Amino acid sequence: MATWLDIPAEENLKKFPTKFTSPCNLASKCYTSDMNKALLIVDAQIDFCPGGGYPVPDGDKVIESLNKLIAHANKNRWKIFASRDWHKKELFKDKPEKTHCIQNTKGAEYHPDLKISKNIPIISKGSNELGEKHYSAFNGDSISLNKLLKKNNINEVYIGGLALDYCVKGTAIDSSRLGYTTYVIKEATKPVKTSSEDVYGDLRKKGIKVVSLDEVVN
Ligand SMILES: [Zn+2]
């Protein structure tokens, strides 16, 4: 009797369907390996942490979780990208109270405890812009994050950073809109003024998965 190996490929599915049944129900899930995943760290900068120019309450508490995500990403060979607010000083001429992340200042540096490699791509944003457009890491000044993700065959994006209700939200919405399966990790982000639960609700409505750190790192 013929075995499935003796039969041309196109006949196999008809005659021996069970041999080819995918082990998981979601076909798309099966084609996502760790090679297709990226960690995106949004604006984990000194100015967004307590003591900085435009602090997020408990903003520094996200660093430990971000470091766990970085370690997980490195171990599993995910790609890692980071964004940063990178404003020109003159943008704040009329609103000095909002001054944050001015290019080449201490406040624009990443939090000193963030264990981020110097070799990863950094997406600077907001050089000439303070409006809503600068919230998203997909609106980089000179780097297209979308092109970078496509070039690296990424289809799943895991996001953490500051602040949840501005740049993390803007980035996650763009990521999902552009077709990436998008996760926001609760412990790795904090809001400035909206309640976390309200933002999670908005994100979920857009198809973004809001998950706990231990659902990602194990
Ligand atoms: Zn900004």
Structural domain spans, the chain: 35-217
Q: Two tokens at 78? A: 């995910």
pLDDT score at 5 = 43
Distance 20 CA to ligand 1 centre (A): 51
**CATH architecture entry for 35-217:** 3-Layer(aba) Sandwich (3.40)
Per-residue pLDDT of the chain (218 residues; tens, 9 = 90+): 444 444 444 444 444 444 343 344 444 444 568 889 999 999 999 999 999 999 999 999 999 999 999 999 999 999 999 999 999 999 999 999 999 999 999 999 999 999 999 899 999 999 999 999 999 999 999 999 999 999 999 999 999 999 999 999 999 999 999 999 999 999 999 999 999 999 999 999 999 999 999 999 97
Active site residue 68: no
pLDDT score at 31 = 57
Q: Two tokens at 66? A: 């971000």
Active site residue 94: no
Q: Do 162 and 56 meet the contact criterion of CB atoms below 8 Å apart? A: yes
Active site residue 43: yes
User: Pairing mode, if any, of strands 122-125 and 79-85?
Assistant: parallel
Distance 47 CA to ligand 1 centre (A): 10
